[in-house]
Amino acid sequence: MSRRLVSGLTAIHVLLLVALLEVAVNRIAVPMLRPAGEAPPWWHTYLDYVGLFVFYFAGTLGVLLLAARCWQAMGSRANGRTLVAHGLVAITAVLAAAPLVIDVPAALSLTLELAFAVSMLAIVASSLRRRADLGAQIGLAILAIPLLLHTANVLGAKFVWPDQTFDGPGLVLARAGVIALCLAALATPYCFAPRPFARAVVRPLPVVIAMVVAGAGALLARSGYASLVKGSMLAIGVELTPSQPDPRLAMYLLAIATLAWTLSSCAFSTSTARRSIGLGLGLILLGGYAFKWPHHYLLPLIGMLMIADAVRHVREQELAALPIASETPPISDAAWASYITLVTQGLRRTLGDVHSLTTRGEGGLASSVIV
């Protein structure tokens, strides 16, 4: 079992694990465990080194995976929209990865934001196909909305509303982006869950996982709300009301539990494309909504590309996996042979030389030909 599990691991799985470690260690553990007003202990210093390592590892691996996907797309017979999308993603990846190796000017951040938004639009446009999964196409567009709202907020702060505006359109857009994130998470079961949906929704394990996540979140909000406020800001860049429980806290917990159900349902799916959708959702989630470091842009780019690629194949894979069901009982071999004999004899009286041939093919299905 362990050998089969290791053989099924890919670079995307490694990136998902590294990104999860980066969130747990570098974003949460290191800042929250740092003692205030005194020198950190030795174990915290080593933990900080581990966080720094996974930080650079996640960014470097993300760039390499994006480069490989873009190179593969350019060498394939993809349509024009797909080629344009991968070309824009390649440009955005270079801009996002530049801070990993050099000191970039502040003006480059605006270029990165523009390239990121255009790449999101191009990825959504490349997924639009007639015979592709409609729900996944709609879900991909919904996922792009909060990411585009972030870019709109950055551009507005740069060109539209004046500086030093703390309670204005920027705050409204930031809150709208968080609400859009929650709505996107709540829409994931209907857009990305395995099909048939009626079969996926009754599987017990994803339901148990979602209930555990919701219960853990509610317990943490009740017993350690201050830690939850700080952790959510550090992990995914979502700011909660610090003085009192956030009025939207119930919606946030419901969104996280719903997303946990979708991720686990996709993970246990028999369709490789559906599992790729789950991996893409996980990478977008781990990228967060802070957009301060390179992998905050790289992980959503990879996740959106994975979902867009899976949209083309998931419908065919799940339809092929459906069993052929029939409400009518099968005809026995004796009854079928008698029927063919009677038809053949009747045709011989009219047409003369008539012959029949019955064969049994794949799945035990019998077919007859009368000539």
- Percentage of residues of the chain with pLDDT beyond 70: 93
* Mean per-residue pLDDT, 271-294: 92
Work out the mean pLDDT of the chain and round it to a whole number.
Answer: 86
What is the torsional sign of CA 79, 80, 85, 86?
positive
What's the confidence (pLDDT) of residue 295?
81
What's the whole-model pTM score? 0.82
Instruction: Transcribe 4-69 into DSSP letters.
Output: HHHHT--HHHHHHHHHHHIIIIIIIIHHHHSPTTSPPPHHHHHHHHHHHHHHHHHHHHHHHHHHHH
Which range is least confidently modeled, 12-16, 118-122, 161-165, 321-325?
161-165
Which range is least confidently modeled, 142-156, 179-193, 285-299, 338-352?
338-352
The SS3 call for residue 136 is: helix
pLDDT digit string, tens, across residues 169-227: 777 888 898 999 999 999 999 999 998 888 888 899 999 999 999 999 999 988 888 88
What is the distance of C-alpha 283 from the center of its chain?
7
Rounded distance between C-alpha atoms, residue 284 and residue 143, angstroms = 9
Cβ distance 183 to 142 under 8 Å? yes
* Mean per-residue pLDDT, 280-296: 89
What's the confidence (pLDDT) of residue 59?
92
Question: What does residue 65 show for φ and ψ, rounded to 5 degrees?
Answer: -70, -40
Which range is least confidently modeled, 111-120, 211-220, 241-250?
241-250
Q: What angle do CA 189, 277, 88 make, to 5 degrees?
A: 125
Question: What count of other Cβ atoms lies within 10 Å of the Cβ of residue 361?
Answer: 8
* 203 contacts: CB under 8 Å, gap ≥ 6: 265, 268
What's the confidence (pLDDT) of residue 5?
43
Pair of tokens at residue 84: 């344009």
Closest CA to 370 of 11, 350, 261: 350
Rounded distance between C-alpha atoms, residue 234 and residue 232, angstroms = 6
* Mean per-residue pLDDT, 160-174: 71
Cβ distance 236 to 290 under 8 Å? yes
The SS3 call for residue 325 is: coil
Identity of the highest mean pLDDT range in 14-23, 73-82, 157-166 = 14-23
* Mean per-residue pLDDT, 70-94: 89
